[in-house]
Amino acid sequence: MTILEALLHYEDELERFDVDDQSVLCALGDIVLNESTAATSYDKVAEYYDLDRDILEAEKKSFVNFREQSKQAITLDSGHSATNVVKYMYANDQHDILCTYYKCACILATIPATSCSAERAFSGLRRLKTYLRNTMGQGRLNNLAILNIERGFTNRVMQEQMDDIINIFGRRRGRKSYFH
C-alpha cells in the first residue's frame, strides 16, 4: 500500500464521522466542564438535544454559583470530569432542581472516549453465541451479553456476594425452570 493509498483510505475513514457530531460533543464538554461557556455552545447543544437554551444557560449559572458558595463546606474532587459533576450534583440533590444541566452532564459522562469498548462488546457476542447456544432465546442472550460487557462489575459482585447468591438460589423452589 502506497502512502497515497493510505491517505485516501484514512480520508474515507474520517468521512464516517460527521463534523456536526464532533462540534456538538465539544460544545457539550464546554458547557459541562468549563466555568465560562461560549454562547454558541449553548446553541449547538440545545438544538441537537432539543433542549431549551435559556433554561440550560440559567441552570449552568446556578450550578456554578452553588459550587462557588459551597466550596468551604463541600470539597470537590480534584479531577474535574463529567462523572465528577454528575456525582457532585447527585450528592447535593441538584439533579432534580437543575435537570437540564444534569441531563447534559449525564450525556457527556456516558459517551465513550473511543469506540473500543463498543467493539469489544460486539466481538464478545461471537464467543457467547456458539453452536451449542443457538437455541437460547433473545432474552437470555441479552442477559449474557450484559454480563460479558460488564464483566468487571460481575466479577466484583461474584467475589463479594457469592454466598448470598448461593443462599438465595438454594431457597427458591422449582429451580428446573432456570436451566431451560
CB of 59 closer than 8 Å to CB of 100: yes
Does the pTM surpass 0.85? The reply is: no
User: What is the distance of C-alpha 51 from the center of its chain?
Assistant: 19
DSSP symbol at 75? P
- Choose between 172 and 46: higher pLDDT: 46
Q: Using pLDDT thresholds of 50, 70 and 90, give the confidence band for residue 113.
A: low
Residue 1 CA to residue 4 CA, distance in Å, equals: 8
Residue 96 CA to residue 61 CA, distance in Å, equals: 16
Residue 118 CA to residue 12 CA, distance in Å, equals: 21
Over the stretch 38-73, which tens digit does the pLDDT of each residue have?
A: 888 888 888 888 889 899 999 999 888 888 887 633
Residue 31 CA to residue 104 CA, distance in Å, equals: 8
The C-alpha cell 468551604 sits at 72
